[in-house]
């Protein structure tokens, strides 16, 4: 027994050395003190559990992507720099505050607002898929897809059928998916696309050495670009659930938008960065969308993610909330804000802004639903309206700021979108588009129930304790 003791001592010593190495990394890179303290306590108290857990999900920066983006291929770097250096087209006569507010978003996304766009709001899965199918059918040169979830159901098979037909016609196809979100996508689906000539990659396919211990990150973006001229972005994945085909299921309520014009190059650039990470390949794409101006709408494409220098997604939401004057309406399926976002929402409501948060009555994650209850007292006392959408699962990610601009994209009001997911959002300042978003959300609000403080206070002490306990785990939800 004494002979085995030195081995046990060595193992324990190595374990604590690993824990200290993890703590060293936390102290150098932490973004929230609460999360850092929680990890450090776990690493010191239960290192045999916390060290492997930290290696799997504790990282908050996506290593390697920045180098692949900014220090890799010269042609990609030149494209990024060219977009970043373009001047915004925002007219702001006598309204410097509005100009400054939107210039912040340009700096966050390292892209400019572009003029001459035409955006169409797509309010449900049926309209979105019809527009997606039509755009792919009309493609002449190439099709770029990037989706978090792809299913092999009727929608997924229709997508594959169109892509195979277009490949036979000589159209090039690049198909990028997230390997966690699409974990149940049959390998056969991907093999058949590859055999037809499509280039297929998952976001987790990036260089193994660069992506080790980074499984907690997700590519949550959903976009399509055809020929560099037409693009789509929003919350809709590729699956039948958006059509409500099951007998006992309402269709998911979600929003997408179709874009023509210079902003499509911004979508294409975000896709190219992700594809370059996943495959080390830079396709030859058409960047002449800026030469065509099918409309007069000003649009900014804002990619955000854990490879950014700042918490770009958090700053986007804070910028919207802090600059709202008359209203800030946010639709998100997941409402688990950190203290920064919650404080900003409270301050907005206290200064008289109409703050409304639309969340689903029936989410796809019961823990998220319970965590949201714990915010009701803070929200109600400040005058924040939290509305639960009743007919099925609401999955849209939409922001409306006054009557000045609206955003449609993939980012939720939770820690994962703020710090762990690669997201993308289209921001539009056109009055007609903003009015369309307003009308859409007003229709949604008619199907919502306003929650009150009593929805939380009148529940059992066990329920309230459970909600508060789940809220503590918000960084992991």
Task: Cite the active site residues.
Answer: 220, 222, 227, 395, 397, 402
**Pairing assessment for the beta strands 199-202 and 172-177 based on DSSP bridges:** parallel
Residue 451: which of 379, 350, 367, 346 has the closest Cα?
Answer: 379
Neighbours of 62 (CB within 10 A): 21
> How far is it, in rounded angstroms, from Cα 292 to Cα 261?
6
Residue 77 to residue 52: CA distance in whole angstroms: 36
String of DSSP letters for 199-213: EEEEGGGS-HHHHTT
Contact 433/296 with Cβ under 8 angstroms? no
| Residue 181 to residue 175: CA distance in whole angstroms | 14
User: Per 3-state DSSP, what percentage of the chain is helix, strand, and coil (rounded to 5)?
Assistant: 50, 20, 30
Residues 477 and 465: their CA atoms lie apart, in Å, by 17
Q: How far is CA 95 from the centre of its chain?
A: 30
The CA distances from residue 350 to 322, 324, 378, in Å, are 12, 12, 12
Closest-CA residue to 330 (of 218, 439, 407): 407
Q: What burial class does residue 174 get, using C-beta atoms within 10 Å of its C-beta: 0-12 exposed, 13-18 middle, 19+ buried?
A: buried
| Distance between CA atoms of residues 68 and 52, nearest Å | 27
Instruction: Tell me which long-range contacts 52-60 makes (C-beta under 8 A, separation of at least 24).
Output: 54/22, 55/22, 55/213, 56/213, 56/215, 56/216, 57/215, 57/216, 57/476, 58/22, 58/26, 58/216, 59/213, 59/214, 59/216, 59/217, 60/29, 60/30, 60/31, 60/35, 60/306, 60/419, 60/420
Burial of 94 (0-12, 13-18, 19+ CB in 10 A): exposed
C-alpha to C-alpha distances, 40 to 36, 45, 216, nearest whole angstrom = 6, 8, 19
Sign of CA dihedral 52, 364, 422, 374: negative
Distance separating alpha carbons of residues 219 and 182, to the nearest angstrom: 11
Residue 406 has φ and ψ, to the nearest 5°, of -135, 150
């Amino acid at each position: 027994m004494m002979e085995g003791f030195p081995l046990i001592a060595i193992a324990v010593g190595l374990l604590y050395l690993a824990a200290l190495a993890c703590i060293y990394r936390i102290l150098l890179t932490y973004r929230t003190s609460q999360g850092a303290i929680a990890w450090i306590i776990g690493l010191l108290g239960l290192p045999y559990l916390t060290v492997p857990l930290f290696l799997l999900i504790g990282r908050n920066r996506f290593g390697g992507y920045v180098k692949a983006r900014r220090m890799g291929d010269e042609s990609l770097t030149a494209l990024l720099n060219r977009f970043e250096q373009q001047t915004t087209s925002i007219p702001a006569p006598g309204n410097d505050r509005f100009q400054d507010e939107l210039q912040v978003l340009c700096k966050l996304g390292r892209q400019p607002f572009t003029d001459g766009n035409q955006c169409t709001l797509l309010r449900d899965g049926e309209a979105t898929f019809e527009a997606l199918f039509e755009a792919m059918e009309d493609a002449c040169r190439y099709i770029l897809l990037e989706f978090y979830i792809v299913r092999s159901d009727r929608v997924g098979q229709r997508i594959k059928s169109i892509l195979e037909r277009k490949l036979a016609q000589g159209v090039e196809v690049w198909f990028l998916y997230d390997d966690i979100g699409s974990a149940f996508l049959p390998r056969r689906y991907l093999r058949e696309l590859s055999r037809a000539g499509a280039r297929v990659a998952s976001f987790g396919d990036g260089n193994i050495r660069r992506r080790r211990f980074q499984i907690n990150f997700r590519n949550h973006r959903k976009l399509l670009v055809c020929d560099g001229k037409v693009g789509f972005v929003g919350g809709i994945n590729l699956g039948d659930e958006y059509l409500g085909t099951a007998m006992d299921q309402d269709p998911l309520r979600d929003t997408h938008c179709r874009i023509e014009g210079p902003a499509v190059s911004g979508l294409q650039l975000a896709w190219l960065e992700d594809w370059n990470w996943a495959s080390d390949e830079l396709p030859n794409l058409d960047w002449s969308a800026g030469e065509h101006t099918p409309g007069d709408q000003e649009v900014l494409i804002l990619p955000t993610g854990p490879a950014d220098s700042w918490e770009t997604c958090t700053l986007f939401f804070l910028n919207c909330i802090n600059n709202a004057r008359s209203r800030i309406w946010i639709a998100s399926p997941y409402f688990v804000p950190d203290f920064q976002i919650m404080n900003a929402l409270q301050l907005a409501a206290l200064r008289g802004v109409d703050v409304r948060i639309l969340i689903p009555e029936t989410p796809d994650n019961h823990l998220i639903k319970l965590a949201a209850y714990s915010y009701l007292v803070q929200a109600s006392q400040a005058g924040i309206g939290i509305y639960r959408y009743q007919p099925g699962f609401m999955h849209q990610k939409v922001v409306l700021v006054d009557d000045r601009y609206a955003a449609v994209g993939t980012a939720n009001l939770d820690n994962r979108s703020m710090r762990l997911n690669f997201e993308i959002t289209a921001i539009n300042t056109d009055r007609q588009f903003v009015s369309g978003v307003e009308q859409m959300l007003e229709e949604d609000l008619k199907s919502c129930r306003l929650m009150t403080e009593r929805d939380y206070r009148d529940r059992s002490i066990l329920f309230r304790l459970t909600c508060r306990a789940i809220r503590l785990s918000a960084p992991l939800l």
